[in-house]
């Protein structure tokens, strides 16, 4: 299976599991689902962007790879910080639910992103 497709499959499975846990354990009356969904969509988009940047720069020379991966990381984090600030300032979500779920999702999805990187590196070593 291609690493990009496998990454998206794992992302979808993880998302279904996480949303299943959110609906079954937390219940809909105790949390604001809009705030959690907003945090989730931001983190998933960030994770996909990070993996696509890594995938694009993977076979490039070292300087290009570094610019895309670390420059992309910097740009993605700045963009997320601006979005979080806008959401908090404009009161677009319940702050406690949004911030807690944002950090929880970010910690979980960054692990999936790193595992995707490792899988792609391992496949390259196996073919070489």
Averaged pLDDT, groups of 10, the chain, 128 residues long: 83 92 80 92 96 92 93 96 96 94 94 89 73
Give a yes or no: residue 102 inside a domain. yes
Is 101 part of a structural domain of the chain?
Answer: yes
Domain of 65 in residue numbering reads as: 33-114
Q: Is residue 120 part of a domain?
A: no
How many distinct structural domains can be found in the chain? 1
For the four alpha carbons of 34, 80, 106 and 57, in that order, the dihedral sign comes to positive
> Rounded to whole angstroms, how far apart are CA atoms 128 and 98?
44
Which segments of 1-128 does DSSP mark as H helices, in order? 3-21, 33-57, 62-89, 95-127
Residue 80: predicted pLDDT? 96
Flag whether the pTM goes above 0.85.
Answer: yes
Nearest to 94 by CA among 52, 39, 46, 57: 39
The CA-atom distances, in angstroms, between 75 and each of 37, 42, 66, 78, 121 are 22, 14, 13, 5, 23
Chain-centre distance of CA 122, in angstroms? 21
On whether residue 21 sits in a domain, the answer given is no
The burial class, CB within 10 Å (0-12 / 13-18 / 19+), for 84 is: middle
Query: Is residue 7, in this structure, part of any structural domain at all?
Result: no
Which of helix, strand or coil describes residue 111? helix
């Amino acid at each position: 299976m291609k690493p990009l497709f496998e990454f998206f499959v794992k992302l979808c499975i993880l998302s279904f599991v996480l949303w299943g846990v959110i609906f079954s354990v937390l219940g809909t009356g105790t949390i604001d689902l809009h705030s959690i969904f907003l945090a989730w969509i931001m983190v998933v988009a960030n994770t996909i962007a990070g993996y696509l940047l890594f995938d694009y720069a993977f076979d490039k020379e070292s300087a290009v790879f570094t610019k895309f991966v670390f420059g992309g990381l910097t740009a993605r984090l700045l963009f997320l910080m601006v979005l979080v600030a806008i959401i908090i300032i404009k009161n677009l979500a319940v702050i406690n639910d949004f911030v807690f779920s944002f950090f929880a999702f970010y910690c979980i999805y960054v692990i999936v992103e790193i595992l995707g990187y490792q899988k792609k590196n391992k496949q390259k070593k196996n073919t070489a």
